[in-house]
Chain A
Amino acid sequence: MTNLSQSSERFISLRELSPYAQHTAVWLRSLARALKMFRLYRSENPVVIATREQIASKLAELVNQHGAMDLRFTPSEIHLVDEPVIRPGVDSDENLRATELQLPFQVYRDGIRRIVILPEVPLAEIYVLFDALRVTGVGPETQDDLVTLLWQGNLTHIQSESVPLEQTIYLSVHRGSEGGGGHRGLSYAWSPVGSEIRADLGQQLGAQGLHRDTFDDWALCDSFVDVPTAYHSMEAGFDESRVRLMEEWRDESACDWAGQTPGIVQRLLELDPGDGMRTSLVQALVTWLAGALQRCDWEEAQRSLAMLRQVDPQSRWTCEAMTAALSGLGLQEIAQRLDEDDARDQARFSSLMVAIGQPAVGLTCSVMCLCTKVRPRAAASTAICYMCSDHPEWLAPFVADSRWQMVRNVVFVLGQIGGAAVVPLLEEVCAHSELRVRRALVQALGNVPCDVRLPMLLEQLHTRDPQLLAATLNMLTRERNPRVARAILARIQAPDFESRSEENKRALFNGLSEVADDHTVPALEQLLTEGGWFARRTVARVAAARTLRRIGTETAVAVLEAGLRSKSEAVRSACLDAMSSRMNS
């Protein structure tokens, strides 16, 4: 691998690579993009099918034209023999790189260090490679790793070199002799005898290790037959039996495993209906459900959920097990897939989440946060509304989330749920540093009883963000409330009022005019007339005059009329302006 690192330093750009390496680099990039597409869309999608064929044909063409493609992998690079074809910093297209740079790590992580694709490689084998990469690229844990999937494919033209998960390592002050028995991989290096194997196990005679197997479960027979004779006597029946057995096997393996599960679960429950068996089955079914969710197979997830309901109808164990299982899912992949899914699948997801209930709240909130398209976000928020309408407290952890987007979305959902029960949660975000969260809060408070929402709204009046202030005032002035008028007036009379923007000032006066009454007239009069002889025309003065005009009571009008007779030009002008607009209206 040191050689590979050196070769990375040697090659500066793609153009300096050999023609084969350049073609390979281009092909690997298309593969990386295609893999993302394979994950996002269903395999029967015509675009997916066409892309698969195109990429596979291109690979076949490349190896037929240039010879075997010998790819070596490091955690961040792919080399064609010793030429780096994918490595950080070669390409300037960040989006492209983000996709393609995942490829070496994905392969390397599973232990593969080298893949050789030979000429004349059949398309079917290339598809096996694609499928293996697609499956192992989803989520943190998959059923099989890349090594196993490629191995199971029994590939003849795609060969992979991998490191085992564990092995005996010999330390020495000398390097081993080169070429001495120099075959790779599993080999007949030496032949252990029984005692040596026992030594390997670290056990003494009679010990049983940690896993106990201390009794025989097959009884010895009293007699035995001569093997060759018995074999020959049975020979006539072998073929027929073999054919029957293999037919049975074909039927069995053709049957979908998920379809067999209910029968087996039922059988296990019949044999042992105790709590121990039920807990175990719940654990198993929960992992099945989690796997289906990770693969975005909503139908399979529904089936597993139905099974869970049968095994644990009271949900005695399901909730805890499911919460743990769902917490390990790769959420980004699910969100990406939902973004690309059609409306029907998004609806399935939504209804599935509702059916799962509390354990799925976190997953649904994350999806709502991570999805970039409106429809899946809407589906997710609807689902959360259903799930949490009776238990808004389930959303408490997400209100305290460090991601403001998550908090904003959850606040929106709380607003949809509404009622007094959501107030404690909304109170937590009253002082959130992100304005967008507080804007969502103000909107959400619309569905909260007036008496409890008022303190939270009044708290937002200190903001200088015009949008937030406008939204808050809009919400506050829905009904005339002297308390609101006093609060707005207090903001207007505050020492920092002058430092506010004109937009802010006007908004506050407009708000005040909606809710003010005779009680506020003296304060407004003072604002109108302050400055005396030397008063100048200010936004506050004009706004105060207009507010008085909008209050329109006798007291207010009297103040304006008095203002018209003021010695100050600015006061007169403000009052005249207000009165004339009154007459016009």
Chain B
Amino acid sequence: MNDPDPTVPTPGPAPGRQDPAANPTNAAAPAAPSDSHGELRPLDERMRELGQLLVLRLLSTTRVGRAYQVGNQTFRAQLDLLLGAIGPMLNEFGETVLVALETDLYLNGVRIPMTRASLRHHQAALKEFRRRKIAGLKIEKGVTRDELEKFFALFLQPEVYNSTGLLEAALAGGCDHVQPAIYASTEAPGDDEMVFTPGEIQESGPWNSSSGYRSSSTFSGGGTSDPGADPGGSDRTGNAPRGAAPKSFTQAIAGTRSLLTTTALQNGMEMRHAKRVVQPLVDGAFAAEPVVMGLATLGHHDEYTYMHAVNVCMVAVTMGHALGLDRRALADLGAAALLHDVGKNAVHDRITHPIGEWSEAERAAAESHVIEGAKLLARSTTLNATTLRCIRVALEHHVAAGYPDLGGAKPSVLSRLVACADCYTSLQTHRSERGRSVTPFEALGMMLGPLASSFEPALLWALVQSVGFYPPGQIVKLDDGAIALVLAPNPADLARPHVRVALDSTGQALPAQAPVEFRPLPAERSITAALAAAEYPETDESRRAA
């Protein structure tokens, strides 16, 4: 990802990648509160609805285009309807990408749901795309009716203009804001592949390629007792290149964002979606993936809600797995952890000072966020076993900190688990000045030291099993004097995690092209110290920042 991304991701469920350097032509606008249309529902839900409408409009335009000449008043009326359907999306995201992946249609990365009523339209749209040998359409902000008319004049001649021929003709005809998407994939193609931008397309020569693109699907099953029996060939053994955070982390963030992106959540939340979000994380826990890496990768200063929610979720799920909870319980735990702090939304504007300087009113407001969270979840979800657990967690996860007063009742086990994960995660990402220098090791040291009495030993045990003695992201000094970054815990030996050496024993930085990694640290090697933030070696990045 350090190289410019050669492909063009659609905005996705989140409003898209924002690295303009990587995608100069397609950097979608950041998500904005969609106040202009009074839309308060979650983003993905709106997208699904708009997707169904767009498919309908596209089909009716195509059908009318077959019966009437392009330019006819009736056809133009259809184009106006099509523009009306995509208008809100263009205003919000800057572009509308409707593509087919196998038998599914996606609008800006969100799968358009299929109902019995819409099945026919769905299949007709797929057929239209297949007929033209394209994956879909991409329409950008600024598109006009004339431009659409020009494009449809080509689009309605599938025998003459199809595949890249359609794209070339569209570009030649000046359709800058509406183009066919030739191929769509869920995997970023290699560097040798071309970018979907007009300028680069024109320079790129022949279009043909014989190879197929990868499956977009997730193969689940092959549970814990027989992981080798996976016919889909899924690779979940944890052999991550570059010792990196798994893709599931980013997916979870996108999912969480989608789940929480709403101004009030008052129009309902799909707990089914929350469970789908946490599934990769739970699978990661079962496959002993270093899921907590995402936590460390973010560094100390992450202050983003979605990150915090996902981090707490990952730590809690890993702890739950260490304790022996089954998948069903872990799914509930994950969903509850994702949503544990939703109540903060209701009180955030009443708190202006950091935690150490709170007034009485601010303290009361902060303490009420747990009740607000429970209230909000009760209002916006369907009450069932999972949501009841989520409500309890939202209400009870601060009992260890002294609120709310449950009248002697004990918080649920999941609440206590989330509380422990939340506390540990929060200590690492504290917003205070001192918090900026708290290392993962110090945060864990606080949990096992001053805060130990707030949590049961079993929870602390599970936490240490999940993150090791030296949590991911911690810089440590090895026995030979080398400085290394902890990549992932090693459940077999908590004192010897997976590490990447940053500075050798002479203090020389190792070249990034040839990293030295121990996966895990061998028995003959040991960690002699966990470095404090002030002792962290300078990196190129930090030097540049300074």
Contacts and interface: CB of A to CB of B under 8 A. Distances in A.
Contacts of A160: 219-221
A163 B446 contact: no
B426 A171 contact: no
Contact of B18 (A164, A182, A202, A260): A202
6 contacts: A152-B327, A156-B221, A156-B226, A159-B229, A173-B204, A174-B183
B457 A237 contact: yes
A199 to B, nearest CB: 4
A211 interface: yes
Interface of A: 1-2, 68, 70, 74-76, 105, 108-109, 111, 113-114, 116, 118, 141-145, 147-148, 150-194, 196-204, 206-228, 230-231, 234, 237-238, 241-242, 244-246, 248-249, 252-253, 257, 260-261, 263-264, 267-268, 270-272, 276-277, 279-281, 283-285, 287-288, 290-291
A191 B17 CA distance: 15
B220 A159 contact: yes
Contacts of B280: 186
B445 to A, nearest CB: 3
Contacts of A158: 221
B404 interface: yes
Given A168-B254, A220-B432, A267-B407, A173 B207 contact: yes
B9 interface: yes
B446 A168 contact: no
Contacts of A284: 378-379, 381, 383, 387, 391
A365 to B, nearest CB: 23
Given A171-B135, A221-B451, A183 B194 contact: no
Contacts of A223: 446, 449-450
B484 interface: no
B60 interface: no
A192 B250 contact: yes
Contact of B12 (A143, A169, A225): A169
A109 B113 contact: yes
Contact of A220 (B1, B240, B378, B435): B435
A181 B190 CA distance: 10
B298 interface: yes
Interface size class of B (residues with CB under 8 A): 35 or more
Contacts of B395: 267-268, 271
Given A209-B31, A223-B449, A272-B375, 5 more contacts: A148-B279, A203-B18, A217-B426, A242-B323, A283-B380
A108 B331 CA distance: 22
B91 interface: no
Given A75-B119, A241-B456, A217 B211 contact: no
A253 B460 CA distance: 22
Given A148-B275, A171-B196, A193-B1, A287 B382 contact: yes
Contacts of A288: 382-384
A175 B183 contact: yes
A176 B183 contact: yes
B212 A173 contact: no
B263 interface: yes
A267 B345 CA distance: 22
Contacts of B461: 234, 238, 241-242
Nearest to A277: B375
Nearest to A189: B247
Contacts of B458: 238, 241-242, 244-246
Contact of B328 (A152, A177, A201, A271): A152
Contacts of A234: 448, 452, 457, 460-461
Given A151-B279, A214-B351, A161 B217 contact: yes
Contacts, number: 536
B329 A257 contact: no
Q: Which 3 residue pairs of A and B lie closest in terms of their CB atoms, listed nearest first?
A: A191-B244, A159-B221, A224-B445
B227 to A, nearest CB: 9
B25 to A, nearest CB: 11
Interface string B283-316: 1000000000010011100111111100000000
Indicate the member of A74, A220, A231 with the most B CB atoms within 10 Å: A220
Interface string B442-479: 11111011111000111111001000011000000000
Contacts of B272: 142-145, 148
B194 A170 contact: no
B430 interface: yes
Contact of B183 (A75, A171, A213, A268): A171
B211 A213 contact: no
B50 interface: no
B185 A172 contact: yes
Contacts of B452: 230, 234
Interface in B193-223: 193-196, 201, 204, 207, 209-223
B45 to A, nearest CB: 11
Given A158-B221, A214-B351, A220-B438, A200 B253 contact: yes
B469 A231 contact: yes
B255 interface: yes
A176 to B, nearest CB: 4
A218 B401 contact: yes
Interface stretch (B76-84, B231-239, B512-520): B231-239
B140 interface: no
B271 interface: yes
Nearest to A216: B355
Contacts of B38: none
Given A167-B186, A214-B351, A268-B374, A173 B220 contact: no
Interface in B96-116: 97, 99, 101-104, 106, 109-111, 113-116
B313 to A, nearest CB: 14
Contacts of A228: 469, 494-495
A118 B261 CA distance: 40
B344 interface: yes
B13 A166 contact: yes
Contacts of A182: 214, 233
A182 to B, nearest CB: 6
B522 interface: no
B318 interface: no
A162 to B, nearest CB: 5
Contact of B188 (A164, A190, A241): A190
B276 interface: yes
Contact of B366 (A114, A215, A272, A291): A215
Contact of A109 (B106, B114, B242, B423): B114
Contacts of B387: 284
B469 A199 contact: no
Given A197-B297, A291-B384, A173 B279 contact: no
A200 B17 contact: yes
B114 A108 contact: yes
Contacts of B187: 170, 176, 181, 189
Contacts of A142: 272
A160 B283 CA distance: 14
A177 B261 contact: no
Nearest to B231: A116
A403 to B, nearest CB: 18
A524 B525 CA distance: 123
A220 B198 CA distance: 53
B90 interface: no
Interface string B392-414: 10010010010011110100110
A259 B211 CA distance: 57
A104 to B, nearest CB: 11
A186 B218 contact: yes
Contact of B245 (A179, A192, A291): A192
Contacts of B464: 227, 231
Contacts of A260: 388
Contact of B232 (A161, A178, A290, A291): A161
Given A200-B253, A279-B379, A252 B213 contact: no
B118 to A, nearest CB: 10
Contacts of A272: 371, 375
Contacts of A153: 327
